[in-house]
Each structure stands twice: as C-alpha cells, then as structure tokens.
Structure 1
Amino acid sequence: MNRLIFMTMLLTAIQVSGQPAKRAEAGRPNIIYIMSDDHGYQAVSAYGYGLNQTPNIDRLAKEGALFTTACVTNSLCAPSRAVMLTGKHSFINGKVDNVQHFDWNQDNFPKLLRKAGYQTAMVGKIHMDGLPQGFDYSAVLPDQGDYYNPDFIINGVKQQIHGHVTEITTDLALKWLKGRDTTKPFCLLYHQKAPHRAWMPIERHYKEYTGKTFKEPATLFDDYKGRGTAAKTAEMNIGKDMNWADDDKIKPEVLEELKLHSLIKWDTASYNRSMRRMDAAQRAAWDAVYDPINEDFKKRYPTMSKEDLMHWRYQRYLQDYLGTIAGVDEGVGAVLDYLDQNGLTENTIVVYTSDQGFYMGEHGWFDKRFMYEESLKTPLLIRYPKEIRPGTKVDALVQNLDFAPTFLDYGGAKIPADMQGVSFRNLVAGKTRKWRDAIYYTYYEYPSIHMVKRHYGIRTNRYKLIHFYYDIDEWELYDLQKDPHEMHSVYNDPAYRSVRDNMHKKLEALRKKYKDSDASDQKYMKSYLSATSKKKK
C-alpha cells in the first residue's frame, strides 16, 4: 500500500474515534482542587494532633505531599478565595473582606485554563457575590449556604436540593465528573461548606460524635498577658462569645428557662431558621440526639462554674465541628475512589486545603482572622503520582497566593506577569529548594464580628512580626522556635533588638514588592464605609 494512502487512512480512523484530542492532552494533568471552609490543620489526622481521624484526606499525604507551613494572605473566607483564584493579594484583587464586591471580570486561573483547552467546573461554596466566571459548569451555594436541604445556584438557576449539603456537594461533583467531555483535561473546584459555623453534621455523624470527648488544648484558659490589646479585646472566646443556640444547639425555650437570653438576636433567629429547613424525619432524628443534651444541660447549669461552662462548651463545639469534618472526609474518599475506578489517578492532581486555619480552643478561641499560627496556617496536601513522591514533606512557606500560578504551570498555560504568587511545582517535586524566606499577611475587617483588630505582618521560618493599627498602634514579635504557641511577644526585649530591626526591613521590602501601603488601607476604608452604609439601607 502507498505510504501516503496508509497514513491518510490511519489519521482518518483516529479522528473518527476521537483519539487525537486524547493524545494531544495526554501530557496535561487533570486538576481537582478540594477546599473546605474553616478546616484547621489540627483536625487533619495526617498532621498528628490526634483529635480525629481523616483517613481519606490522609491518603493524599501518604501517596503525595504534606505541607507543614502552608499559610494564607488574609485569614477570612471570601478574601482567601479571591486570592486563590487570582494569585493576587487582597489589596490588589479588591476583595479585602466579606463585605466588598468581588470583580469576576478580572482574570482568574480557571479562565486561563479554560482558554488553554481545559473543561472547568466549580461545585459548592464560593461565598462571593455574582455568577462565577471561568467555568463551563457551576453549582454554588448562595452566600454561606445551609447544611440541610440547601439551595444551589446551578449555572445561574436557583433550586433547592433535599439532603445534607456535604453529601449533595460531593454528588454534584461526581455527577459532573461522570458527564464531562472526556476529550479535554479538566479542572474541578470542589468546595465544601463544612466545617463552617454553625456546625451541623450528617445524622450518622452527630449520633457518633456527640458521644465523644476530646482533649483540651494547653492554652484553653489563656489570659493573654504576654500579648497586646488585640488578643485581649477579640470577641471569639468559647466561654464568653460563642452563641448558645446556633453554636451549642441549646433550644431557645431552654435558654429562656435558664435566663440565658442571647444578646445577639441573630443567634436564635439563625438556629430557628436552620431547624425550619429540615423535614419532619430530619428534625425527629436531630431532636432524638440533641434533646437529651439540652435536658442534661438544664440539670447541670445551675451548679456550673465559669470553668465548668468552658469545659462543657469546648466539648459541644468539638463534637459538632469534628462531626461535620467526618462527612468532608467521606466525600474526599468518594472522589479518590472515582479516580481509581476510572483510571484517572496517575494523571490527576488532587489538592486538599481549607480557606484558612481555625482555632479549636487554642487561646480559648474559635474562629480565625488573626495572624497567629492556628489561623494563619492551613492544611495543604497534594497528590500527583507523575511528579510527587509518596510521603513527601514540604516545610517551605507557601501561600494560597501560589495556587493560581501553580495550576497554570501544571496546565501548560502562561502565567500572567501581574500574578503575585509563585508556582511551587518544582518545589513539591523535589527539583529545587530555592524558595521565599518570608510571607506577607493583611487583615482588614474591623470593626466587625469578633472584633479582631486590623493588622499586617510577616512570618519567616522562625520569627513573626505583626503591626496592629487603626484604633491602636502596637507591634508584636514572636520567636516561633522558643515560643511556638505565641504566648509572649518579645518586641520590646533588648535581646531581640537586631531581630526586630531586621524583621522591620523585611516587612518594608515585602510591602514594596507586593505594592501595599497605608494608602491601600485608606482606600479600603472609604469602600468599606460605602458598602456597609448601602447594606444598612
């Protein structure tokens, strides 16, 4: 047979079968980015804290890499997501807090991957206004979303889906994976609402976890003497600031009986709203478990000291919080099983992370926002068999700022010059040890819920310098090697004068590098006041 005729026939046969597209994309990995909301690294068992078990998430560390010092640039839900998408700090992408509008018209990495030939999808929580851009398919929760029988906005159309939000999010993600265009590489952002406040687990998990007891952190009764005003005035103490109804699941009528009237109107309103979303069967199952907890609390409360209440509320918090994480871990397992069963494991990058860290009783706190370790650091585990060796451990200072350029690097797409993050592809593959020696952090949302004062700062491998400002002007410096729990600022210690001076120089250099300044904060304040006044109207 003539060689030209043979090659023509072969190419025609391949085109009919659809194989050329598959071959063309063979070297380009699929990407599944899994992000939960408020999942502290202490509650991923691969990190070794012993609070709970997350066997499916742990698979990513065992079969890939675990990052020990992954940090965020702004420890707040929506700003963190904006940084992840854009590869730019909050003061550059415009989403500095949970109030400001996010401009979806700006570039994000899914848009750029889509232009490069990827099929893209976002499923679950994004917590930013506007229809997500850069996705062939989106099924997202409006605002914070609900745990039971939630609404989803699917490609712009709102609908209610019966069930628990964690399982629904996983089902929607798997449904999209099964129906995707298999001739293209894919990028799926699979975002869970859990374990965001007010923690409402799946039935089988609250039945299990309400019977568990958890070890208290050594700093549960912290008196904040070694730090400045910000730590002393924050409103996120488990004993004093946690809500009785929404958080502890104490019924409003029980609170009335015990004269524990909530000072926050939205506490009982939010609790009642969540209960009303349940159907009769869901509510009956819930009451069968939580009513006895209420009855037991009614008997015990009159004789409980402040310390007793702190112990009790800590256990109530951890039971529900960790119960919601059990569902998240199951979802990760379902996705990993799907990849295994469909021959996709080898060529798929799977990332597990959270939008920031979270306090689980450390310093007596819940929530996040601070630049202190439990809030600044976030879990990060990545598996990619083609490049990442099983059991890899990465101690480098990576940030959520680095996700966008890293995914573009893996996808063979051009990384825009204005992205401020850096691809850590070669770092996690063990091809380089060269990396940044300090990270930059900002937090703006004050005065607001939890009353964590505005601050910015830097962290190196050993030291951390923080500037609290706006209505105060205070600096804190921590030696993380000698004081890993950040109990005593050494900013005014003469022995640390040279360290302090060097950290100030590093801070100014990073502010200049990332184009931050006091003017950025003034611009934010004008925008914040305008946005909050519109909300009130």
Structure 2
Amino acid sequence: MKHYFLILLFAFLGGNGVAQQAVVRQPNGTLTLEKIPNSPPRNIIFILTDDHRYDALGFLNTQTFIQTPNLDRLAKNGAYLPNAFVTTALCSPSRASILTGLYAHKHRVVDNNNPVSKHLIFYSQYLQKSGYQTAMIGKWHMGGEFDDPQRGFNYWVSFKGQGSYLPEKNGFNVNGRKVPQKGYITDELTDYAMDFLQNRKKDKPFMLYLSHKGVHADFIPSERDKGRFKDHTFKPPVSMAVDSQKDAPMWLQNQRNSWHGVEFPYHSQLDIGEYYKRYSETLLGVDTSVGRVLDYLEKEGLLGSTLVVYMGDNGFMFGEHGLIDKRTAYETSMRVPMLAHCPDLIKPGTVVNEVVANIDVAPTFLEVAGLKMPKYMDGKSFLPFLRGQTQPWRTGLLYEYYWERNYPQTPTMHALRTDRYKYIHYHGIWDTDELYDLQEDPNETNNLIHQPAQQSTAKKLNKDLFDILQQTNGMSIPLYEDRGQRNDLRSKKGAKAAEFPVYLEREGKNEK
C-alpha cells in the first residue's frame, strides 16, 4: 500500500512539487495534421494587442477620444465580432490559450510568472510543419523574463517581459541575436513585420503573428500622438459610482480602495479619465501599425486573399465596478475587440454575433491553412461564421481566473457566460456569487443571485459550469510557489471595509 500511495502522489505532484495534470497534446507529439480536401492554404496575419478593451474602437463612439480609423477600415470592409471574449483575462494565460486552443487549466499557464511546458504545441508548429513561413514579432510574455526564440517560428523578434515603449538596455532578441531598441516600440515592431513580409519566400504561404506591447500600462504614446486628446472629456461608466451596484460582493467593494481600484489606483492618486485619454493616444500608434500592414498587402496584391485578424489579449477597466485593470469576469475585463478581413472570404460589413473566444483562434487558423484541428483542442473554428455560414455552436463560454499572491484583491473565480446570463462562482472567500441578466442589465449592476425568481437559472448555470469543468479536466485549482512582489495596500483616506451582507445575518444562534 505504501508503494501505491507514493506512485499516486508523484503523479499528482508531477515530480517537481507542483500539482498539475498531464499536458494535452497530439498522440506521440506528431505535428502532422490531416488536410481538408479542396482547401488550399491561405496567408494569415494575426495582430494581437495588449489590454485593448472591446469598446475602444472609433466606430462605436463610446468616448470622443477613441479614434481608430484603420481598425474602423477593417470592420467596414470585413467582419466585426462584437461578442469576442477571452477565457482568462490576464496576459500570459490568454496568449497561451490563443496559441494552443486550450483552457488555462489545461495548458497550465495560469498566471504571468510560471513557465510554459515544453510539451505544449502551438498552432504555429502545425503551420510550420505543413509548409508555412512563420513569424513571431513582439510581446511573448509567457513564463517569465526571457526573450529566446520559441518553437514554431522561422522568424523571431521579441523582448523580455513587458518590454518598454522607449529604448532601454535589454533591447530586442532578433532570431537569437541581441539588438538594441532604436525607437518607439510600436513603430519598430511594425518595421520588423515589414522586413519579414518583404523578404519572405514568395512561393510559400506565411503566418505573421504581430504581438504589440501597446496598449499595456504604463501608457506612453508616440511623440506624434502625445497630447492629442488633452481637451476631450471622459465620460465615467455607470458602475464607477459608489453604491451603483446592488448586492455587490464584499471583495469587489473592498477592491475600490486597492492597487486595482479607482480610489487608490497603483497605490497613487491617478486620475482615471486622464489615464484613459493617455491609453487612447497610445492606441493611435497601434492603429497606425495596422494601416501600414494593410497598405503593404494592398500594394502587393495580397489584400483580398490574406486573412487579417485583429484581437486584444484581454479587456481593461477604466472605472467599471470601481476598478481598473482586468482579471475579473465582468464584461469590460473578459470581452475584447475582434475584427477579421479577407475580401475573398468575408463580405464587407459582416457582423458575427456568436460568442467566440481566444481558444477558437488556433482552430480557425488551422482551418484557414487547410488543416483539420486536433481533437484535444477546447476551441472551435469560427471561419464558417466569417463566411456567412451557420454551424452548431457553444451555448455558454467558460471563464476562469486563479488567485495571485501578487494581487490578492481578486479571488479565484469561474464563470459561465451565455447569450443572456452570466453566472460567477467564487472560491476560497466568505462572500456571495453573482448572476446577471445581460439583456436587461448590460452594465452588470444588479446581482440577481439571491432573487427567488432566479434560483432555477442560477442552479442550472451552476450545473452547466461544473459540467464543462468536469468534461475538460478542470476540477483542480493550481498551486505555485510565491513569485513577484505583493501589491496589497489600502489608503487610510479611502473607503472602509465593506459591511457584512445582511442576507447572511441572523438574529440568534438557534435561527437558521
């Protein structure tokens, strides 16, 4: 019995003291996928931005200082996907889900500090094996502070960690060689993208993954865009006001006065409106980059046949629910912009209303390449929707976030988002869960979890949530050693701790 116990323990700990599950991969690690008949490979450009919230697009007119003419051009001449989401609103987990088609609890890159398993297979490896020229240019940021070339890419330009908008000592890693950063990072990454496109082998299909640092905090716009929106006025969101939310969890009320709250943002007196305007000025550089890519494709006669997909890696809150940043399961955290352009496939002005996610990117690109997706992936291809076709689709999207010691304000959570409802389930805290009717309450200000009329809905969504977790081997919470600093202060001048909720209070010890 002792030997049997030790074998089980080792399997659970993975041999290095870290609880983990076996990483999902192709049988025998093969990179050869079955081809789709009569589906020749198509060029792909994937542009990923950092912390770009879903409604920060000029044509949506949410703030006067949001101006994105080239992204608007993509939407007008291609497809706009208003219901695009990430399954974890955090840089590294989201990027790993994009590259693998897996939920975070499968790829195990659950935060920004822990390494990527060498057994994970990226969609770029499948494309490379099938004959694609592949390039990764920009922010990698998975597994710590390194910039070494990664598997699946013929051409590589990256930087350590978050990188820097302006030149600094670390510079870039260009195909394994250290190269100084010369200028503004968004412009320079686009220069490298142009270099790859111009010098590629013209007889092979290509996949360019252009991964911008922009618009990650701390926002620094280019000199040409600095101060562009200084005279504009910020319209604060409805849920930014104190007491704007009914039956809000205690953790959320307390987070107002924290590193990620509007009362003590980054432990400072930061003005949220001015911060948002600086973000928008920084976004102008990304928009200019998109314009350069589109202009190149048009000049080379490739604009009609190349699939260009633009996406954010997670959202970003500017006052919603009294917060800044991301991580939560609220719409402005987990919802992202997504645009797709390919005139040969997509009619101008197409709107895809289905809920698509970062786990769907890899399966979609594989189908565009004429390859059948591996069965182990959690996502599905949304290419038929871009073509105006229909197909069976998910009825609810799983969201997951695991507590980080660095930012202890936000608890571990799982959520299920359907077309109408969102159910958020918390772990390890004495607090309330949340239920929102997104049709009646798009700002998520009225928590229905204790409403008698909504109990059957909450019960069903709870069951559906755990069914998905069971089916995808997600019934464990990862535990890792401490890494990084803790940002856990409160301001003495800020709001006091939330009152214990009255719905959990009773008169006497014998009352139930």
Give the TM-score category using the shorter length: 0.7 to 0.9
Q: How does 1:95-494 map to 2 (within 5 A)?
A: 95-129=109-143, 131=148, 132-150=150-168, 151-223=171-243, 224-234=245-255, 235=258, 236-244=260-268, 248=270, 313-449=271-407, 451-472=409-430, 474-494=432-452
* Residue type of the alignment partner of 2:121: D
Q: Establish whether residue 44 from structure 1 lines up as the match of residue 57 from structure 2.
A: yes
Deviations 1:434-472 (A, max 9, x none): 311100011003332262111001010001111111233
Q: 1:455 to 1:373 in 2, by over 3 A?
A: same
Does the CA contact (< 8 Å) of 2:406 and 2:484 recur in 1? no
**Partner Cα distance (2:39, 2:429) in 1:** 56
Q: Establish whether residue 32 from structure 1 lines up as the match of residue 53 from structure 2.
A: no
**Partner Cα distance (1:337, 1:532) in 2:** 42
**Partner Cα distance (1:354, 1:152) in 2:** 22
Does the CA contact (< 8 Å) of 2:136 and 2:208 recur in 1? yes
Q: 1:243 to 1:170 in 2, by over 3 A?
A: farther
* Residue type of the alignment partner of 1:325: L
Q: Establish whether residue 510 from structure 1 lines up as the match of residue 468 from structure 2.
A: yes
Q: 2:481 corresponds to which residue?
A: 529
**Partner Cα distance (2:293, 2:420) in 1:** 37
**Partner Cα distance (2:430, 2:46) in 1:** 39
Does the CA contact (< 8 Å) of 1:230 and 1:452 recur in 2? yes
**Partner Cα distance (2:56, 2:390) in 1:** 30
Q: 2:504 corresponds to which residue?
A: none
Query: C-alpha root-mean-square deviation of aligned residues, in Å?
Result: 1.9
Greater displacement, 316-325 / 156-165: 156-165
Q: 1:306 corresponds to which residue?
A: none
Shift of 1:166: 0.9
Greater displacement, 47-56 / 486-495: 47-56
Aligned partner of residue 372 in structure 2, secondary structure:
coil
Deviations 1:202-252 (A, max 9, x none): 01211323343322222222435531123123332233223549xx5xxxx
Aligned partner of residue 59 in structure 1, secondary structure:
helix
Deviations 1:276-314 (A, max 9, x none): xxxxxxxxxxxxxxxxxxxxxxxxxxxxxxxxxxxxx12
For residue 104 of structure 2, the aligned residue among 66, 90, 94 is: 90
Shift of 1:26: 9.8
Aligned partner of residue 489 in structure 1, secondary structure:
coil
Shift of 1:507: 1.2
Aligned partner of residue 320 in structure 1, secondary structure:
helix
**Partner Cα distance (1:420, 1:408) in 2:** 14
Deviations 1:353-373 (A, max 9, x none): 110111122223220000011
> Gaps spanning 5+ residues in structure 1: where?
1-24, 249-312
**Partner Cα distance (1:163, 1:391) in 2:** 36
Does the CA contact (< 8 Å) of 1:122 and 1:139 recur in 2? yes
Q: 1:78 corresponds to which residue?
A: 92
**Partner Cα distance (1:336, 1:480) in 2:** 35
Q: How does 1:48-59 map to 2 (within 5 A)?
A: 48-51=61-64, 52-59=66-73
Does the CA contact (< 8 Å) of 1:447 and 1:453 recur in 2? no
Rg bigger for which structure? 1
Does the CA contact (< 8 Å) of 2:249 and 2:431 recur in 1? no
Aligned partner of residue 511 in structure 1, secondary structure:
helix
Does the CA contact (< 8 Å) of 1:41 and 1:47 recur in 2? no
Identity %: 38
Q: Which has the higher helix share?
A: 1
**Partner Cα distance (1:31, 1:498) in 2:** 45
Question: TM-score, structure 1 length as denominator?
Answer: 0.78
Shift of 1:163: 0.9
Q: 1:239 to 1:473 in 2, by over 3 A?
A: closer
Deviations 1:51-100 (A, max 9, x none): 41101011111111111111111000011000000001111111011121
Q: 1:104 to 1:342 in 2, by over 3 A?
A: farther
Q: How does 1:2-13 map to 2 (within 5 A)?
A: none
Q: 1:26 to 1:422 in 2, by over 3 A?
A: closer
* Residue type of the alignment partner of 2:83: T
Q: 1:18 corresponds to which residue?
A: none
Does the CA contact (< 8 Å) of 1:104 and 1:133 recur in 2? no
**Partner Cα distance (1:492, 1:238) in 2:** 27
Does the CA contact (< 8 Å) of 2:40 and 2:370 recur in 1? no
* Residue type of the alignment partner of 1:174: M
* Residue type of the alignment partner of 2:135: A
Q: Paired residues, what number?
A: 437
**Partner Cα distance (1:450, 1:169) in 2:** 34
* Residue type of the alignment partner of 2:368: Y
**Partner Cα distance (1:50, 1:317) in 2:** 13
Q: 2:76 corresponds to which residue?
A: 62
**Partner Cα distance (1:375, 1:326) in 2:** 21
